[in-house]
Amino acid sequence: MILLAQSPPLAFTKTEPTVRLNRPLTHSFIEKALPTNFTQTSSLTQSQGFGKNRATAMAKSKNHTAHNQSYKNHRNGIKRPKKQQFASRKGMDLKFLKNQKHALRGTIQARLKANREAES
Judge whether 109 lies within some domain.
Answer: yes
Confidence (pTM)? 0.30
Measure the CA–CA gap between 104 and 41, rounded to whole angstroms. 83
Distance CA 119, CA 111 (A): 12
Residue 96 lies in a domain: yes
Average pLDDT, the chain: 77
Q: Which pLDDT score is estimated for 92?
A: 96
Domains identified in the chain, total number: 1
Residue 110 located in a structural domain: yes
Give residue 99's domain range. 92-119
pLDDT in tens, 57-114: 788 898 999 999 999 999 999 999 999 999 999 999 999 999 999 999 999 999 999 9
Query: Is 66 contained in some domain?
Result: no
